[in-house]
Structure formats: C-alpha cells, structure tokens
C-alpha cells in the first residue's frame, strides 16, 4: 500500500514538472513583453528644496499604445497625468514622499515604479 502511494506520488511529481517547465516557457515569452516602469527622475533619495525646477520622468518599456500615466505623491496626492513634467520643489509639501508612476496600456495592463524623495 505504501509503495503504491509512493509510486502515484512520484508519477504526479514527474507530470507536474513536465507541465511546469512548459508553463515556464510560456511565462518567459510573456515576461519578455511585460510592461515595465522605472522612474529616472527624481532619483531615489534625492533631496528637493526651494524653487528648483524638478523633472519627473521615467522609462517605460513594452505595453500597447496608447499609454496612460498617473503620477502621485504619498503626501500631495495626484501630481500629473503627463508622461513627463516639471514642477518646482516649493509646490510640494515638506517631508518624505513616495513618488509613484502608474502606467496603463491599451489592453488594460498596468505597471508602476516608485522612488522615495525628501522635500525640505
């Protein structure tokens, strides 16, 4: 009885492995086209102050056009719906902000990037 259970368990593992590697191949194909977002400006840990003009920009890879953009701050809320924009540091409240860019493509796929900055 134990030997039979062991044999059934092992055969299930072998089948599962085979179908898993096939799924992994499909996952790799899909990940090659996966929408990705990387905020390039401001830089993580950057300190913003005064009237300096700050560029908010990001690299977006893959995704089906048109893309929609939603920049937000953990303190100030929505910042912009443009791909990139400039804003004076003095227009942001002082404190530690998590800046988030969420991008959605025409198929409804979305991805986001974030950075932590300090406003003085």
Q: 36-95, pLDDT tens digit by residue?
A: 999 999 999 999 999 999 999 999 999 999 999 999 999 999 999 999 999 999 999 999
pTM strictly above 0.75: no
**What Å distances lie between residue 104 and 8, 42, 57, 65, CA to CA?**
45, 21, 16, 9
Distance between CA atoms of residues 81 and 56, nearest Å: 11
Find the domain containing 20 and state its range. 1-32
Helices (H), the chain: 2-31
- DSSP β-ladder status, 95-104 and 53-61: unpaired
| Both tokens assigned to 18 | 């085979």
DSSP state of 49: -
Residues 28 and 43 in one domain: no
Residues 26 and 53 in one domain: no
Q: What is the mean pLDDT of residues 19-40?
A: 62
| Both tokens assigned to 5 | 């259970």
How many independent structural domains does the chain possess? 2
Residues 69 and 113 in one domain: yes
What's the CATH code of the domain at 115?
2.60.40.10
């Amino acid at each position: 009885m134990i030997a039979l259970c062991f044999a059934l368990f092992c055969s299930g593992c072998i089948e599962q492995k085979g179908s898993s590697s096939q799924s992994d191949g499909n996952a790799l194909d899909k990940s090659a086209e996966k929408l990705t977002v990387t905020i390039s400006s401001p830089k993580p840990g950057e300190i913003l102050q005064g009237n300096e003009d700050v560029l908010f920009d990001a690299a977006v890879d893959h995704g089906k056009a048109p893309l929609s953009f939603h920049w937000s701050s953990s303190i100030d809320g929505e910042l912009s719906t443009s791909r990139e924009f400039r804003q004076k540091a003095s227009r942001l409240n002082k404190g530690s902000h998590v800046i988030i860019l969420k991008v959605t493509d025409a198929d409804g796929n979305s991805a986001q990037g974030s950075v932590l900055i300090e406003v003085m």
